[in-house]
Structure 1
């Protein structure tokens, strides 16, 4: 499956900005791998003195951004799994600011967070590889939006690129 195979109604309008950040010609499974490599390489190059930097008082540190990526990836993987398995319950949203505020990410070691991201994404690689074409197109509801596991996979990758771009523009 490629992003161009998605129908507009497979995910809420808000999420399309993330999907558009991805390479259009890559299949979802290939994209999950290449995106993982890009994100890990990017975070490994961040200078030591920048990890706790905030570009404004109410903004997250880079450690917190990385923790946010990990938490969001876990939540979106669960959503993809639930919808692939025909869960009929509307899956709830989550307060990403609360997750960051209570994560204690700023007490974490950057290399540990990078490693955790690697393992969470690797788990997702296995998850998405085992969804067949029908499962990727199953429809469900997450946070009041229609969603398919295929669209969620592309959102996961685009979300990581979105935050990488913000870090490049405002933190480094």
Structure 2
């Protein structure tokens, strides 16, 4: 089983995300989270998915696009580090990624297809890694990071956004 990362395996910025992952098999948790995300977004009309809870905030479509983009980037980092690549990996600016994004012009079903493809690729990658690969360390955004910490960060990042969706979008 994929063990929870320890302090020192990741930048302190990610402590909150890692803490959002409950105890249990992380791969199972990622699969359950995928089902939850699908339930939420597949139940939205296009108008509902275009909703922003305040001026200047992302639409629900943009949130899903952001979650997908972030997981794609983090999964790439996980692959590089798990394979032993010691090349420092650059950071990314989520706001720059959102400028000129196509998400509001896409159907929710298309955004979900993209999300599901990325999540399934992440899950397959995690299932196929040898145990020793999870504790390999690399550098991303000028900070040390282990492969397993990235997996937990991906879960926590999405959990954070799902909580915001429940609190600020769906309960409005």
Report the TM-score when normalising by structure 2: 0.92
Residue 135 of structure 2: which of 127, 134, 137 is its match? Answer: 137
Matches within 5 A, 1:74-85: 74-85=72-83
Q: Which secondary structure does the structure 1 equivalent of 2:144 belong to?
A: strand
Counterpart Cα distance in 2 of 1:32 and 1:54: 26
Q: How far 1:47 sits from its partner (Å)?
A: 4.4
In structure 2, runs of 5+ residues without a counterpart are none
How far apart are the structure 2 equivalents of 1:131 and 1:31? 17
Unaligned runs of 5+ in 1: none
CA, structure 1 residues 160+94, in 2 after alignment: closer, same or farther (shift >3 Å)? same
Residue 160 of structure 2 corresponds to 162
Check conservation: 1:39, 1:161, Cα contact below 8 A.
Answer: no
Distance in 2 (alpha carbons) for counterparts of 1:147 and 1:98: 23
SS of equivalent residue, structure 1 residue 140: strand
Match of 1:10?
Answer: 9
Moved over 6 A (4+): none
Alignment of structure 1 residues 13-162 onto 2, 5 Å: 13-24=12-23, 26-162=24-160
Aligned-pair Cα RMSD in Å? 1.4
Paired residue secondary structure (2:8): helix
Q: Is the 8 A contact 2:90 2:141 kept in 1?
A: yes
Deviation of 1:57 (Å): 1.8
In the aligned structure 2, how far is the partner of 1:168 from the partner of 1:52?
A: 15
